[in-house]
């Protein structure tokens, strides 16, 4: 029950971070043609030219998938090396052929369940993970709905393919990873563009590496600018 409450509190708390919805409800003229329905009329996002922004969404997805594979490999390696109280995996039996086969079958034939992972893993780590997925495409100039779709897809793949052979897919993670990732990812994206507009200072470089590593991987810190709106 407490995990369901945590999910509800998470959704309620981060929904406060989307004032754009109310703003557009009051001011429909803020919506511009060929722009995201949530895109604000701010100068910063319109002046930073994102690398690969001229490519098709399919091309962006392929590149983002490569970024995500690398990111997931790092996470999985960290979990394997972490103490069992963090991963909740029995290291002696979890990676045997019989165990992997049994867990994958269970993952794909039974519904997700509420897990008992650490709070910081479920409600800090997973939103950060989803934020990375989101910005692998958003940092290439993908629209909000496109980046959101990619975050949902990658979150589901993580639960069923990457972790599916080790544990049952988690209800909390299937909700919190994409939802938290979309919200935190968009906030990180806009903050990064604001810093990029006039060039990054050393402390902004450090901050961007922490809050938006996908942007760094795709764009680096030498961004071109343009007066044309996106």
What residues form DSSP beta bridges with 48? 225
Residue 212 has what DSSP assignment? -
Residue 17 lies in a domain: no
Question: Please, are residues 188 and 131 in contact by the beta-carbon 8 Å criterion?
Answer: yes
Measure Cα distances from 141 to 46, 68, 71, 184, 211 in Å: 11, 17, 20, 17, 18
Average pLDDT of span 190-194: 96
Total domain count for the chain? 1
Quick one: pLDDT band at residue 222, thresholds 50, 70, 90? confident
Quick one: pLDDT band at residue 45, thresholds 50, 70, 90? very low
pLDDT exceeds 50 at position 24: no
Residue 34 lies in a domain: no
Residue 199 lies in a domain: yes
Quick one: pLDDT band at residue 48, thresholds 50, 70, 90? confident
Weakest mean pLDDT among 16-30, 43-57, 204-218: 16-30
Residue 9 lies in a domain: no
pLDDT exceeds 80 at position 66: yes
Residue 144 lies in a domain: yes
Residues 78-122 pLDDT 10s: 999 999 999 989 988 999 999 999 999 999 999 999 998 899 999
Residue 130 lies in a domain: yes
Residue 21 lies in a domain: no
Residue 213 lies in a domain: yes
Residues 145-164 pLDDT 10s: 999 999 999 999 999 999 99
Q: Which domain holds residue 129?
A: 54-79+93-221
């Amino acid at each position: 029950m407490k995990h369901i409450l945590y999910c509800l509190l998470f959704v309620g708390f981060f929904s406060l971070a989307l004032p754009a919805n109310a703003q557009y409800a009051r001011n429909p003229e803020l919506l511009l043609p060929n722009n995201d329905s949530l895109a604000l009329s701010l100068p910063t996002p319109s002046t930073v030219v994102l690398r690969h922004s001229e490519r098709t969404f399919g091309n962006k997805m392929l590149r983002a998938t490569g970024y995500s594979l690398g990111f997931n490999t790092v996470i999985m390696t960290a979990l394997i090396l972490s103490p069992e109280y963090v991963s909740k995996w029995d290291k002696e039996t979890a990676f045997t052929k019989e165990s992997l086969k049994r867990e994958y079958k269970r993952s794909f034939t039974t519904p997700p369940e509420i897990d008992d992972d650490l709070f910081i893993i479920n409600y800090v780590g997973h939103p950060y993970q989803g934020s990375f997925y989101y910005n692998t495409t958003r940092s290439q100039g993908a629209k909000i709905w496109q980046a959101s779709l990619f975050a949902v897809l990658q979150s589901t793949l993580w639960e069923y393919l990457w972790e599916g052979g080790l544990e049952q897919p988690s209800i909390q993670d299937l909700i919190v990873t994409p939802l938290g990732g979309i919200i935190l990812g968009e906030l990180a994206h806009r903050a990064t563009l604001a810093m990029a507009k006039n060039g990054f200072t050393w402390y902004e470089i450090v901050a961007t590496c922490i809050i938006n590593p996908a942007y760094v991987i795709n764009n680096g810190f030498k961004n071109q600018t343009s007066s044309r709106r996106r």
